[in-house]
């Protein structure tokens, strides 16, 4: 997710201590939340299965989230923006609480960028996140042919990246899809429709494991 605010600056990729802390907390919290939902230790799952799921989520969910947000930041900076990720601590808390009752509502934060920018440039910044998730799904796909742990990582990686791409392309509120839809409905459809269809296919016919 990316959110635009005010003025233009020279491109420079750097990370403040606050930004690194927010990225790390979001990565860890999302990984634990997914593990609580998929291996609910509070509902009888073993400690071993929960710890394994935390590790799997860290590699799949965490990487999907992290690279999604970094893609927004890099493209924003390339367009002369000041860009920095900020976690939403209330939403991180909600992610854990929702996972405890069996579903996950995860909107851990956003890359906020400011500077003068065109509608097209803003759309390109928004598009970077979902496109990154689609490419990551493609990279995880070959792992699905392997048995056991590698196959599970591949399947989870494909599932979560397709889900994030489809979810973030919804043209509503602060989600990425809104600025893309407002800029070019053809480009929006080109990314949104395959994302929804692929995510739906994986959920209905492949499954998470």
Residues annotated catalytic, as ranges: 69
C-alpha span between 113 and 131 (Å, rounded): 19
- Compute how many other C-beta atoms are within 10 angstroms of the C-beta atom of residue 35: 24
């Amino acid at each position: 997710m990316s959110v635009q605010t005010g003025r233009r600056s020279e491109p420079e990729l750097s990370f403040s201590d606050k930004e690194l802390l927010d990225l790390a907390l979001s990565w860890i919290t999302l990984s634990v939340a997914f593990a609580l939902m998929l291996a609910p230790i509070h509902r009888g799952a073993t400690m071993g299965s929960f710890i394994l799921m935390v590790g799997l989520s860290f590699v799949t969910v965490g990487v999907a989230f992290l690279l999604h947000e970094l893609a927004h930041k890099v493209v924003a900076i390339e367009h002369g923006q000041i860009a920095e990720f900020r976690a939403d601590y209330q939403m991180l808390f909600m992610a854990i609480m929702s996972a405890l009752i069996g579903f996950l509502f995860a909107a851990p934060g956003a890359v906020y960028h400011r500077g003068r920018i065109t509608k097209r440039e803003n759309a390109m910044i928004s598009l970077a996140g979902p496109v990154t998730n689609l490419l990551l799904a493609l990279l995880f796909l070959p792992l699905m042919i392997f048995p056991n742990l590698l196959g599970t990582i591949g399947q989870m990686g494909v599932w979560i990246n397709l889900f994030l791409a489809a979810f973030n392309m919804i043209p509503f509120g602060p989600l990425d899809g809104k600025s893309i839809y407002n800029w070019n409905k053809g480009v929006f459809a080109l990314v949104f429709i395959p994302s929804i269809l692929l995510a739906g296919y994986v959920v209905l016919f492949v499954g998470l494991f």
